[in-house]
Every structure is written in C-alpha cells, then in structure tokens.
Amino acid sequence: MIVHSKEDKEVPFQQAEEVYNAATGPKEMFIYSGAHLAAMKVDAEAYVAKIDRLIY
C-alpha cells in the first residue's frame, strides 16, 4: 500500500507513483491532501478502508 500526498514536500509524489506502478499483486494507493505523514489525521476512515480492501 502506498500512502502519499501530492503536497508532500519531503518525498516527491512521482516517486510514490513509480513504486506503486512497479509493485505487483494486490495493491492500493491512498492519495490524500496534507502534509508528509498526515494521512491518518486527514482521513483516517478512508485510510483504514484501503487497508481493509487489501486484507479481506
């Protein structure tokens, strides 16, 4: 699972896309709006839903 913000100033969004595109098997990408590592603060419900889709 790739979790990334297009607003992230620490890691370019393009790098997240490259890793996601190279991954095989079940995968999810959660794109959120906000700062680096803020996904759970921004939208915890959507974050958990993505994880659920991977494990169920």
Confidence at residue 29, expressed as pLDDT on a 0 to 100 scale: 94
Give me the half-sphere count of Cα atoms (radius 13 Å) on the Cβ side of residue 34. Answer: 14
Which stretches of the chain score pLDDT less than 50? Answer: none
Confidence at residue 39, expressed as pLDDT on a 0 to 100 scale: 94
Q: Around Cβ 39, how many Cβ atoms within 10 Å? A: 20
The amino acid that residue 32 corresponds to is Y
Contact at 8 Å (CB) between 42 and 8?
A: no
Residue with tokens 């991954």: 23
Confidence at residue 56, expressed as pLDDT on a 0 to 100 scale: 86
Token pair of 26, please? 């079940």
